[in-house]
Chains A and B, each alone.
Chain A
Amino acid sequence: MLGKIFFLLCLSSAWAEDLCSKAVPPEAYYVRLSIKTALGDKAYVWNDNEMFLFQATLAFAMRSQFSGQEYNVSNIVVCDETPRVSFWFVVTSLEDPSRLVSRGDVEQAVRKSRNRINSAFLLTDQTLEFIGITPTLAAPVAPNTPPWLIVFGVVMGAVFAGILVLLVLPLIQKKRKKNQPMEDEDSDEETQVKTAENGPERSGVYNMSFSDDDKFTQM
């Protein structure tokens, strides 16, 4: 039993090395990570352990997409790792290690679990790029009433209320004055006293040549 597993492992790793030395197969997906851009000071170093995590998450993605098919880390073959942290990978099929899973299937699996894959590496759609798999755009949240209409309604309501108040208030004040004749008589006496005091000063006649009516006829 152990011997068989050992044999299979050797075979698959040999097969993997074989794959990497050949030209990039059409089923491959190119991956690029920008860890420093995303995390700045908190960036982790990319090493074999991180690569192992990547293979594991991809295996997880394949498993979630195709339920029942138990993909393993060994099924995810990674090649051409660069200092940029970019590489390409293929997924070997479960039944026959020499056959590769089609691009379409891999794409579906990645799209379904994209969020989980991103979260595993603390990255986003822009910093963990699968070249060829465009990130699905978030549907914009469109409120039923545009917010500006609500603010407009509030402001216009306030302005109209203000205009009404300013127009109606003097009319109400006039009515109140008419309904209070008693107070008027008292104020009349006061003004009479005042005019008596100002009497001598009003003795001049001033020439209202500055009169609106004659303005244009006087030349």
Chain B
Amino acid sequence: IMKLKLPNPGLEDRILSHQQLDKVEEEEAGDRPKWDNKAQYMLTCVGFCVGLGNVWRFPYLCQSHGGGAFMIPFLILLVLEGIPLLHLEFAIGQRLRRGSLGVWATIHPYLTGIGVASMCVSLTISLYYNTIIAWILWYLFNSFQETLPWSQCPMNANLTGIISECERSSPVDYFWYRETLNTTPSIEEDGGLQWWMLLCHVCAWSFLYICIIRGIETTGKAVYVTSTLPYVVLTVFLIRGLTLKGSFNGVKFLFTPDLSELAKPTTWLDAGAQVFYSFSLAFGGLISFSSYNSVHNNCEQDAVIISIINGFTSVYAATVIYTIIGFRATERFDNCLSGNIVALLNAFELAESDITDSSYDQVVQRLNETYPDVIQGLDLKTCNLDTFLSEGVEGTGLAFIVFTEAITKMPISPLWAVLFFIMLFCLGLSSMFGNIEGIIVPLQDLKVFPKTWPKEATTAVTCLICCAVGLIFLQGSGNYWLSLFDTYGGSIPLLVVAFCEMVSVVYIYGIDRFNDDIKFMIGHKPNFFWQATWRVISPLIMLFILVFYIITKVSEKLLYKAWDPESEKFPTLVEKTYPVWIYVIIFVLAGIPCIAIPFIAVWKCVKHSSESINLFFFTFQNIQINL
């Protein structure tokens, strides 16, 4: 099974031979765009891989799966799954010099479905990812004020007090759920378009358009800023964070290893999924980007370097985030404790110096023995630092609620807010470049746009259509739609596509031919590590992750968390079940890209056989006529 190669006649006719490649390279006769220099290519790939997930998904996974211990499955799977897949995509793109759809169609026309599935997934993700960028822009625009709008509750209509929804939750929650999203209590109520979000949405798409207006010609210039600025901001935040009180609590909490977590399969599953999504594999964008390289570019070295950078960025970002989270948690803990102390002082009329932070526990115990009913009546809150440290810190909750709250407590808050949101904006935008590449190039390969149209027009039409469809996420219920798309549109299809990619290259294109290609391109045959991972280890890991993912997703109830001011549990999010018609949407999101692969293969097969049958009858008729 190692050396299995499926029959693939006609492959030689579809691809350029090594000599032809060299010739095209020398004479620069190809009409493909090219990178201005290696740095642009590396920065674009790094920007595509390093995205919002490194900042708001990895730190949460790390902390919830045993801190430092999570590094072990993460690094193991990075080496066994991430790097081989990355090298494979780079090499195949550089060799066949086509976008993702072109590559699979070239390997075998029946495999066009893989390219179509990639394109569908890139499309789904682009739609909602840019809405997240719109939210980031909204917060960025609102950061240019002396008092940040999410630091205090607004007054109600008759100026007698603060708005009840805000009073019951918190200013940051209120700003996020009400003033930004204006969220409805359930997904069925759409709540209409929010005009301020529409403006930010249009701004986000316009910004993206200006960066991709001429493909990599303009993207290549934009990445000098969008890929490097996040690192600068992270470093600034690290320095600022380490000087705040309580930051070391956060970092300690993050990295304290809990080796018992390694025994749980969910840890390994989450690590594998994180490595996979973090590398933006199976989107088609990386294949496209590497196809603009010169034929003898060292793709092996690139793959290793980018993987190392990606892994390092995840850990670095996690450290920075947790210094700030440690600060916030310590601040909350101190406030909780002082609140309790004040309540005790007031109830027992003690002098202020009688109870300090350190003597609090003893005093409470002593008072509880003598006046237990008074203590009960006071309803003291339990203040636990670890609880504060592990409060819902992933995804949009981390960026827009937890981190923004922490920023309001730092001196010169507007500066930190602006820096933070510019960093998120750059991270998101550079990932969008790859997503859009994964849509536009297949569309060009499918000849959807007329050949006479200039590049500016094709990118404009794509952006306009995506902008229009993205209006779903600007409604009151937009946040629920977004998490639906995120959970189902961006997970299972990618895993399926990645698995098919590996199988196609190794067994349909042929691992021998692939090895020869790499020898031709970089000068030496890939060593045993690559052979083992490409042929056996990585496909097996992908299969495991895919199967377990499907099992967990299918077996769990379809629930979503809603912000409902009328519910009793408010301000905690309420879990609600999706309405029945959501299943159709989920099928469209997750099922159609996966089904496209076999469906298009069968369709092409039928078309081919009907054509050969036609050809046969045509020649038969000719023979008959000649007779």
Interface residues of A (CB under 8 A from B): 32, 34-37, 82-86, 137, 139-140, 147-152, 155-156, 159-160, 162-163, 166-167, 202, 204, 206-207, 209-210, 215-216, 218-219
Contact = CB atoms under 8 A, between A and B. Distances in A.
B13 A166 contact: no
Contacts of B27: 202
Contacts of B456: 166-167
Contact of A209 (B13, B161, B611): B13
B135 to A, nearest CB: 13
B616 interface: no
Contacts of B346: 32, 84, 86
Contacts, number: 105
A210 B23 contact: no
23 contacts: A83-B354, A84-B346, A84-B349, A84-B351, A85-B351, A137-B159, A148-B138, A148-B144, A148-B145, A148-B196, A152-B199, A155-B137, A159-B206, A160-B206, A163-B206, A163-B210, A206-B23, A209-B13, A210-B16, A215-B14, A215-B102, A216-B105, A219-B611
Contacts of B350: 83-84
B620 interface: no
B352 A34 contact: yes
Contact of A147 (B14, B15, B144, B152): B144
Given A206-B20, A219-B10, A84 B155 contact: no
Given A156-B202, A163-B213, 5 more contacts: A34-B352, A82-B349, A166-B210, A209-B13, A215-B14
Nearest to B609: A219
A83 B161 contact: no
Nearest to A156: B203
Interface residues of B, number: 51
A35 B352 contact: yes
Contacts of B349: 82-84, 86
Contacts of B142: 147-148
A143 to B, nearest CB: 9
A202 B161 CA distance: 84
A36 to B, nearest CB: 4
A32 B343 CA distance: 12
B469 interface: no
Contact of A156 (B14, B162, B206): B206
B200 interface: yes
Interface of B: 10, 13-16, 20, 23-24, 27, 102, 105-106, 109, 137-138, 140-142, 144-145, 152, 154-155, 159, 161-162, 196, 199-200, 202-203, 206-207, 209-210, 213-214, 218, 338, 342, 345-346, 349-354, 456, 608, 611
B473 to A, nearest CB: 19
A159 B210 contact: yes
A32 B196 CA distance: 46
A152 B141 contact: yes
A149 B145 CA distance: 12
Contacts of B203: 152, 155-156, 159
B557 to A, nearest CB: 39
A163 B209 contact: yes
Given A152-B200, A163-B210, A166-B213, A84 B105 contact: no
A163 B212 CA distance: 11
A85 B354 CA distance: 13
A219 B109 contact: yes
A50 B456 CA distance: 77
A183 B101 CA distance: 43
Contacts of A207: 20
Contact of A216 (B109, B145, B152, B353): B109
A204 B23 CA distance: 10
Contact of B342 (A34, A86, A167): A34
Of the listed residues A149, A202, A204, A210, the one surrounded by the most CB atoms of chain B closer than 10 A to its CB is: A210
Contact of A137 (B10, B106, B138, B161): B161
A139 B145 contact: no
A95 to B, nearest CB: 35
B159 A139 contact: yes
Given A83-B350, A159-B207, A209-B14, A140 B213 contact: no
Contacts of A152: 137, 141, 199-200, 203
A210 B20 contact: yes
Contacts of A147: 141-142, 144-145
Contacts of A140: 152, 154-155
A122 B386 CA distance: 36
A149 B138 CA distance: 10
Contacts of B155: 137, 139-140
Contact of A218 (B13, B209, B345): B13
Contacts of B196: 148
A142 to B, nearest CB: 9
Nearest to A215: B105
A218 B14 contact: yes
B253 to A, nearest CB: 29
Nearest to B97: A210
Nearest to A155: B203
Contacts of A216: 105, 109
Q: 8 closest Cβ contacts across the A-B interface?
A: A148-B141, A83-B351, A36-B352, A82-B349, A84-B349, A151-B141, A148-B142, A210-B16
